[in-house]
Amino acid sequence: MFTENDILRALRDCYDPALPCNIVDLGLVRAISVAPDPEAPGAGIPGVPQKHRIRVEFTLTSPTDEAAAQVTAQIRNRLAGLEEAGDTEVVMVTEPAWSPLQMTLAGRRALGLDGNPNLVQIR
Tell me: the pLDDT tens digits for 39-93? 888 888 898 889 999 999 999 999 899 999 999 999 999 999 999 999 999 999 9
Preceding peptide of 96 cis, ω within 30°: yes
Contact assessment for residue 96 and residue 57, using Cβ atoms and an 8 Å cutoff: no
How big is the chain, counted in residues? 123
pTM of the complete model: 0.88
Preceding peptide of 100 cis, ω within 30°: no
| Distance (Å, whole) CA 111 – CA 58 | 20
Residue 92, strand partner residues: 58
Walk me through the domains of the chain, giving residue ranges and CATH numbers. 4-98 (3.30.300.130)
Q: Which amino acid is at 105?
A: L
Q: Which amino acid is at 117?
A: P
